[in-house]
Structure 1
Amino acid sequence: MSSLSLRRLALCLIAGLACLPAASQALDAPAARIVHDGRFEDWAAIAPVATDPDDQPAGAVDLQALAITNDEQFLRLRIAFADVVQLQENNDLVLHIDTDADATTGQPVSGIGADLSFAFGSRSGTVVVDGSSIAVRHAPLRLSWAPTFSAPEFEVEIALDAVVGGAPVFPGNQILVALATSTGERLPQAEPGAAYTIDRATALPAYDGPTLDRSPESVRLMSYNVLRDNIFAGAAREAFFRLVHAIGPDVVAFQEIYDHSGAEAAALVAEALGGTWYSGDAGSDNLLVSRWPVTLERDLGGNSAFVVQTPAEWNHDLLLVNAHTPCCNNEDGRLDETDRYMQFVRQVKEGSIPGIAPDTPFAIVGDLNMVGTDRPLRTMLTGDLVDNARYGPDFAPDLDGTDLTDALPLHLGAPAAFTWYDAGSSFPAGRLDFIVYTDNALAMGNAFVLFTPHLSDEALEAAGLLATDTGTASDHLPVVADFVSIRYQAATPEAPQRVTVRVAPNPFSARAVVSIDQPRPGPVTVEVYDVLGRRVAVPFDGRLAAGSQQVPLDASALAPGVYLYRVTTADGVAGGTLVRR
């Protein structure tokens, strides 16, 4: 292998990308099923088409690697940087795509004819059609990126069927892609652009995403920012009725209800769904509506906490922190409010909040406006507070002394995770709304984001929805998770957790694979329990070699629902939740 190949191999290893020798990097990757969620495990098999060393001064955009693939609908890019970048503003990075691989058309840019150019920092671009430049934002391109907060890498999607000025943006399959800044940083460095052939022929496996179906024996929680009381009148009200009827929530955490009370919100939901509904209103725009009584309301300085008296079979209440942290450039406000509600979570665990048992399971839900740094999210997940002088010591927030879990609900009908969309805004679709929970006491079953344009005509008709409903009701989307109370703890906290376990796919229809990575050979037992703690299956009981091993899991004999698995080895115990569809 040449020294250049070795350098490229080292660079893509540093970037965490799939790595192939330089000679192989010119080969096109086939189409791939990528979920647009700001996580990159599904990019592991996609080799970078271009890499670059750390060669820019501190504070400047320093490109590191570019990978390209596509599916039936989108061209997909993975862009890695040498340092953290806020992609949606405060940078001079421009994406250039020669969409017909013809240097004589488009805008001349370093040897390519850029038919599409998009400046991330200003969230604006141009498309060249018949020699004329047409200004565009994200909407006609269906362009977006994830995550929405600053990060060292992003995934970008652009619709392959986009039309601008009456002409298709991607008229053929051969394209060239380049990234450049005003200070001379460029990727690729040596070639005019990274060549890629759009694969429109490969039949990809169907998107195995969530469904509207409710997980058995679960409480369905919905978080919904309703755009300044929008759902209380007119067409938005009718769209909301259809949405909430299709979803069928048990508990609704509303944000941005400023001009109506909790009782009025409960009356609206009761009109839509019937039955008796209770409300929680601590004085902010964050209200709670529940099928069961709300026994505690607490103002947390712009955010709210509520305790719901859940069904008797749960044997305990449910604590919900309903958050709506400040928007846009108010990063300090987001950090301060996150610290404040996490201080409350710590105080609950310490037993210092009257009316809430220290072992009460909880979830943090709402519109977190994650558009600055990832620091507020890290504080929420890990209990690492920013202002310890004001809000006290750091702590492990889950009931078993570990981090909280991000539910990361995905879209019904499409491999996406965004929870906010406004075609008229300069900002593209993004994931602003979250459900984070204690997985030591709550098992999450089904979870989804509802964006009605992503549903097929058949799915819309079956659910009683219109394709325009989510856009009519609000600019945010309903975010939903089904939770079951866990009476059996799948892992012993005191056991050394030297073994790592992963189940995929999860949720699954009938069969999955349990991947077990253990440091030495030895006995291994894989057990499956129902949520009442009864063992219902033993998929494996024997010896496995050291390293990564796979055990097939056949759950075809189990009823659909939420289960727990436990893997016991000589080096520790690990476990988690299974969802059988």
Structure 2
Amino acid sequence: MINRLHTVAAVLAGITTSIGSASSPPVTIEGLFTDWSDRPVVQTDPTGDGELDLTTVRITDEPDWLQFLLESPVDFDLSENNELVILIDTDDDASTGLQAEGIGAEVRFVFGDREGRFYAGPTSNPQSGTQIWHGDLSLQSAPTVTSSRFEVALSRKATVGGTPVFTGDTITMVLVDGGGERVPDAGSIRHVFDLTPPSDDRNVSLDRERSDDVRSISWNVLNDNPWDSEESPKFARMIQAIEPDILNLQEIYDHSPTQTRNRFISWLGETPGDWHAAGNNDCKTISRYPILHSEPLSGNLAVLIDTTDVLGRPLLIFNLHTPCCSNDDGRQWEIDEMLQFLGQVRAGNHDDIPNDVAVQIAGDLNLVGFAQQLESLVDGNIINESEFGPDIAPDVDGSALLDPFPLQTESRLAYTWRNDWSWYWPGRLDVSIISDSVLEPGRQLVLETRRMSAPRLAEHGLQADDSGCSDHLPIICDIRKPSSPAGDLDGNGVVDGGDLGILLAAWHTRSKIADLSGDGYVNGEDLGLLLADWAE
């Protein structure tokens, strides 16, 4: 691996200029950051001048969004346990808004408190103005876990009490923290809106890429809401549009696996008795394919499904609903327990599950707090080793698993949880992670009807508010038997320099051939996927 990476690095060193000269792809708010590399650094700040140390700020925009990237040398949680304040002069007029830090800020938002103020007129009192929440600004941010980098988007169409928030073509902003940090150290950051529309709107079909793809969903349905008379028609339309083969559901407390199967499969117009069901606590799994084995893991569920005819091997699904909110220790404990179970399977120490089984980790993981929890799900790093043993190699070939980071069908957003009346802004709390050494990913999507166009809604028989039937959104994960390596772009059976050349020639375009991640653009994520398949 080291030698081939050195070879690839040498090739990349020679083409850096040509890549940098290409037009930048639109920013996607998912927490991967590859699309920021060509965005200019608008402000740098020295380290060590505050408890919460920001060192780099990048800003960009498109007609609907103001977007910025914050970078720090240390990990922190943007949504809590900090005093970071952003002040934005949205009309570039120092005589209007809150007179603070040398600007006239119409918006003052405290990230750690998840609230702020909007100042329609001039004032020197920060407690005046109108209280605002994340929903007033349509604030989006990623990741929702601790990180040294955060990408943030604010809607340029935001209004407060009917008054537009962004009224000019130029803004100024200052970031300050209670621990002494100020960015910039003096003056303010000024940004003139470019407002160039994205080169192409994101508009991904809800249909399977291949008719024989196996489609699973993961969906926290919010306290048995599918049986609520007002919400059930919305669930029915969503399920009919998705047409899943396997359903991994959470927060079904008051209905049995059989009742759950009957409810959902009747919406598909099929015979419920032809489907199979298993459950533990609030986690229920419904499958078109036979369920060979299931067992509880704390409040979670492990299910072995006979997908041999369609995937070439059975599929072991972990349907998880880990503890919420500030219970980081509880989340890590249950993740470690699941990893111990998977490690026993990989070691051949489970009587009912083969060691080379394909794996999917799906569910509402409540991924807020420490980033370690998500990292453990992918790389098998067990933290509570005294209880659950050493780290494991989670995939069949000993590698890490794949987190596809699915996006919504018609927006470059990855949130899976949204509650406009909550203190917390939307976030990616749910996952669908797969063993990509033995499975090939197909369509990977989050279904959010509130951000879909009328034609696409009509095409699938959906209504705009259907996804509001729960505070979580369904994650769609299509999988299939592997064919040739995904990175084999020229079809010669091996991933090599020819494929790298094809990918680089398509850099920052919408090439369907080279867009391995399916996010609509050829970028660093696709390069990483190609390198993962690089010939030995």
Q: Give the TM-score range, shorter chain.
A: 0.7 to 0.9
Q: Within the alignment, does 1:180 sit opposite 2:180 as a pair?
A: no
Matched, 1:168 2:164: yes
- 1:275 equivalenced with 2:266 (yes/no): no
Match of 2:199 among 201, 205, 210: 205
Counterpart in 1 of 2:314? Answer: 317
Say whether 1:264 aligns with 2:259. Answer: yes
Note the C-alpha offset of 1:32: 6.0
Say which SS state the counterpart of residue 70 (structure 1) adopts: strand
Query: For 1:66-81, what aligned pairs fall within 5 Å after superposition?
Result: 66-81=57-72
Structure 1: runs of 5+ lacking an equivalent: 1-18, 21-29, 491-501, 504-513, 515-525, 530-534, 564-572
Match of 1:528 in 2: 491
CA contact (8 A) 1:33 1:207 kept: no
Residue of structure 2 in register with 1:238 after alignment: 233
Alignment of 1:239-254 (within 5 A): 239-254=234-249
What is the distance in 2 between the residues matched to 1:198 and 1:557? 30
Relative contact order higher in (CA < 8 Å, ≥ 6 apart): 2
Aligned ranges 1:59-208 → 2 under 5 Å = 60-131=51-122, 133-191=129-187, 193-200=188-195, 202-208=196-202
**How many residue pairs align between the two structures?**
492
Cα contact 1:73–1:159 (8 A) shared by 2: yes
Matched residue, 1:16: none
Structure 2 SS opposite 1:265: helix
Q: CA deviation at 1:209?
A: 5.2
Contact residue 360 and residue 435 of structure 2 kept, 8 A: yes
Distance of aligned partners of 1:346 and 1:190 in 2 relative to their CA distance in 1, 3 Å threshold:
same
Question: Which residue identity is paired with 1:213?
Answer: D
> Do the aligned partners of 1:37 and 1:147 also contact (CA within 8 Å) in 2?
yes
Q: How does 1:320-469 map to 2 (within 5 A)?
A: 320-469=317-466
1:542–1:364 CA distance, 2 compared to 1 (3 A): closer
Cα distance between partner residues in 1 of 2:499 and 2:470: 54
Matched, 1:223 2:218: yes
Q: Is the 8 A contact 1:398 1:404 kept in 2?
A: yes
**Partners in 2 of 1:130 and 1:418 — Cα distance?**
34
**1:32–1:70: 8 Å Cα contact kept in structure 2?**
no
SS at match of 1:88: coil
- Which residue identity is paired with 1:64? T
Shift of residue 389, structure 1, vs aligned partner: 1.3
Higher strand share: 1
Task: State the SS of the aligned residue for 2:231.
Answer: helix
Q: Which amino acid aligns with 1:112?
A: I
Q: Is the 8 A contact 2:280 2:300 kept in 1?
A: no
Match among 38, 43, 54 for residue 45 of structure 1: 38
* Structure 1 residue 557: Cα displacement: 12
**3-state SS, counterpart of residue 129 of structure 2:** strand
Q: Deviations over 1:507-540 (max 9, x none)?
A: xxxxxxx8xxxxxxxxxxx6527xxxxx5xx898
**Inter-CA distance 552–40: structure 2 relative to 1 (3 Å threshold):** closer
Q: Could you tell me which residue of structure 2 aligns to residue 23 of structure 1?
A: none
Q: How far apart are the structure 2 equivalents of 1:414 and 1:259?
A: 34
Deviation by residue 1:283-323 (Cα, 9 ceiling, x = unmatched): 22111011112111110111110011126243321110011
Deviations, residues 466-500 of structure 1 (Å, cap 9, x unaligned): 100001x1000010010002266x4xxxxxxxxxx
Structure 2 length-normalised TM: 0.86
Shift in CA distance, 339/168, structure 1 to aligned 2, threshold 3 Å: same
Q: Aligned Cα RMSD in Å?
A: 2.9
The residue identity in structure 2 corresponding to 1:147 is P
Separation in 1, partners of 2:147, 2:76: 5
Task: Say if 1:268 and 1:561 are closer, same or farther in 2 by CA, change over 3 A.
Answer: farther
One-letter amino acid matched to 2:191: Y
Deviation at 1:109, TM superposition (A): 1.3
- CA deviations 1:214-234 (Å, max 9, x no partner) are 121210010000011111121
* Displacement of 1:197: 0.7
Report which of the two has the higher share of helix. 2
Q: Aligned with 1:36: secondary structure?
A: coil
Measured against aligned partners, the alpha-carbon deviations of 1:99-126 in whole angstroms (never above 9, x if no partner) come to 0111111111110011001000100010
Q: Secondary structure at the match of 1:269?
A: helix
What is the TM-score of this pair, normalised by structure 1? 0.80
Match of 1:176, SS?
strand
**Counterpart secondary structure, 2:378:** helix
Structure 1 contact 211–448 (Cα < 8 Å) conserved: no
SS in 1 for 2:55: strand
Distance 1:286 1:197, change over 3 A: same
Match of 2:26 in 1: 33
- State the distance in 2 between where 1:337 and 1:215 align: 34
Q: Secondary structure at the match of 1:406?
A: coil
The 5 Å alignment of 1:412-561 reads 412-471=409-468, 473-486=469-482, 490=485, 527-528=490-491, 550=504
* Change beyond 3 A, Cα 1:455–1:208: closer
Q: Are positions 1:307 and 2:300 aligned together?
A: no
Question: Using the alignment, how far apart are the partners of 2:190 and 2:499 within structure 1?
Answer: 48
Q: Are residues 119 and 274 of structure 1, via their aligned partners in 2, closer, same or farther at CA, if it must alter by over 3 Å?
A: same
| Contact 1:209–1:411, Cα closer than 8 Å, also in 2 | no
SS across alignment from 2:239 = helix
